[in-house]
Amino acid sequence: MSAPHTQRRSGRYSVFAIAREAMRLHSGWGRAWASPEPRSRYQVVIVGAGGHGLATAYYLGKNFGITDVAVIEKGWLGGGNTGRNTTIIRSNYLQDPSAAIYDKALKLYETLSQDLNYNVMFSPRGLIMLAQTEHEKRGYLRTVNANLLQGVATRWVEPAELGRLVPIMNLAGPRYPVLGGLYQERGGTARHDAVAWGYARACSDMGMHIIQNCEVTGVETAGGRVRAVNTAKGRIECDKLAMVVAGHSSVLAGMAGFRLPIESIALQALVSEPIKPCLDVVVMANTVHGYLSQSDKGEMVIGGGTDGFVNYTQRGSWHHVEETVRALIETFPMLSRLKMLRQWGGIVDMTGDRSPILSRTPVEGIFVNCGWGTGGFKAIPGSGWAMAELVAKGTPGPLAAPFGLERFAEGRFIDESVAAGVAH
C-alpha cells in the first residue's frame, strides 16, 4: 500500500459547510483538486483524465489502497468525450457481459453522489427505446426476456402507455408508427462535468496527482515491459501504465508498439434553446436514428448516429444536424419550432462488435480501456471499477474478463451492434 502525497484537501461538502461559508462570504473554500507538477516516478500512470480514467484512479485507491497514481491529460480535465456526450445512462443490453458491466455502472451511479460527497445530479427519470418496425419490436421483446434472466429490470410498454409517458410524441408516424417500446425505469441521466469533477476531487483528496496540459509524446519500453512515458512536462517512470483515452487509443498504442482493433469516428450532438418542461424521460428512436432528453435548464438534448467515415474532428456539421433533426421531427413534431443553441462533436472509438476493450496488452505492465464507442458515459463507474481491478491485480476480474483483446483472435465477439444502434 502506497503512502498518500501531502496535498491540501478541499474539505467535506455539507449543509453545515455551506452555512459556515455563507457567514464568511465564501472565502474559506479550498480548491476542489490540486494541480501539482509531475514527479519523476509513480507506481501507476493513467493517461486520460476523463470519466473512465478518473474512475479507474478512484477505485484503485478505494478498493486496493493504491494512491501513488498520476492521471495525466493532454488538455483540461473532462474536456474530451466526458464533457461532450449527451449524459444518457442505461443498462438494458442484450449480451450477458454487457448487461453485467453496465448494470454495475448504473448501481454505482445510484449512490455516486454520496460516495464522492459531490452531487453528480443523477436523475433516474426512465429511458424508452422506441420500436417503430416489427423487426425492432421482436428484438426488444427478446431483450426484455434477456434482461429478466440477467436481473436487469426492464419491461415492454404498449403505444397507449407511451402516449401517456411522452405526450409530445406522434405515435401515428408518418413513416414509422410507434409500435411500443423497451422501458428501463432505472435509466436516466447525470451531469457529465460533475461526474468528472467529483471523481477528480476524490482522487486528489486521496493524494493522487492530476496533471493537466501534459500531452504524452512517447512510451518507453524495454525487454517487453513498460518503463516510462515521455510527456510535455518531462519523463515519468512507472510500474504500470493504463491507457484510457477513448478515440486516441490507437495513437497511444502505436507509441507503445502495438495496434488496436478500433476506428475513431466523430459523433455529433446539439441542444435547442431552453423551453418549459415537456419531456421527463429519455427517448431513443433507432429506426429514425435519433434520441433526445430535456436538460434541467430546459434545453432539448439531441443526438444521432456517428459520421459515416473515420475522422478525428470535434466540430459539428450542418448536414448531420439536418439529418438527425429531420428524422426526429417525424416522431416529435414540436421540435420543428425550436431554434438550435449549439452543436459539437466528440471522437468515439468503435470496435467491430461494438463492445469495449478492457485488457492487458502485448507490452507487460500496459493496460488498455477503450472501444466504448458511443456508450462510454453510462459505463464510467463500472468501467473504472473493472479497470482498477485489472491494473491492481494484473489479471481481469469477472466484469473485465470477457472484454479482453484475445476475443478478436478467438472469434469470441460480444455483438452489441443492435443495442448500440443509434449511438448509445
CA distances (Å), 349 to each of 98, 290, 295, in order?
17, 19, 26
Q: 284 in a domain, yes or no? A: yes
pLDDT attached to residue 335: 93
Q: 245 in a domain, yes or no? A: no
What is the CA 93 to chain-centroid distance, rounded?
A: 15
Q: 229 in a domain, yes or no? A: no
Q: 41 in a domain, yes or no? A: no
Cβ-Cβ contacts under 8 Å for 176 (sequence gap 6 or more): 132, 133, 287, 288, 330, 331
The whole-model pTM stands at: 0.94
- Stretches where the chain sits below pLDDT 70 are 1-10, 418-424
Q: 179 in a domain, yes or no? A: yes
CATH number, domain containing residue 172 = 3.30.9.10
Cβ-Cβ contacts under 8 Å for 361 (sequence gap 6 or more): 253, 256, 258, 367, 368, 405
Instruction: Give the angle subtended at the CA of 245 by the CAs of 374 and 257, to the nearest 5°.
Output: 120
Q: How many CB atoms lie within 10 A of CB 308?
A: 9
Element (H, E) at 346: strand 340-350
Q: Which of 8, 32, 64 is nearest to 207 (CA)?
A: 8
pLDDT tens-digit map of 122-154: 999 999 999 999 999 999 999 999 999 999 999
Q: Which of 28, 44, 35, 15 is nearest to 390 (CA)?
A: 44
Element (H, E) at 57: helix 51-64
Q: Domain limits at 157?
A: 126-186+272-350
Q: Which of 264, 250, 251, 301 is nearest to 279 (CA)?
A: 301
pLDDT attached to residue 28: 87
Q: 8 in a domain, yes or no? A: no
Largest Cα–Cα separation, the chain? 64
pLDDT attached to residue 422: 47
Show the cell assigned to 239: 510500474
Split into its structural domains, the chain has a count of: 1
Q: 332 in a domain, yes or no? A: yes
pLDDT attached to residue 324: 87
Tell me the C-alpha distance between 281 and 105, whole Å: 19
pLDDT attached to residue 4: 42
β-bridge pairing 340-350 and 357-360: unpaired
Q: 99 in a domain, yes or no? A: no
pLDDT attached to residue 10: 63
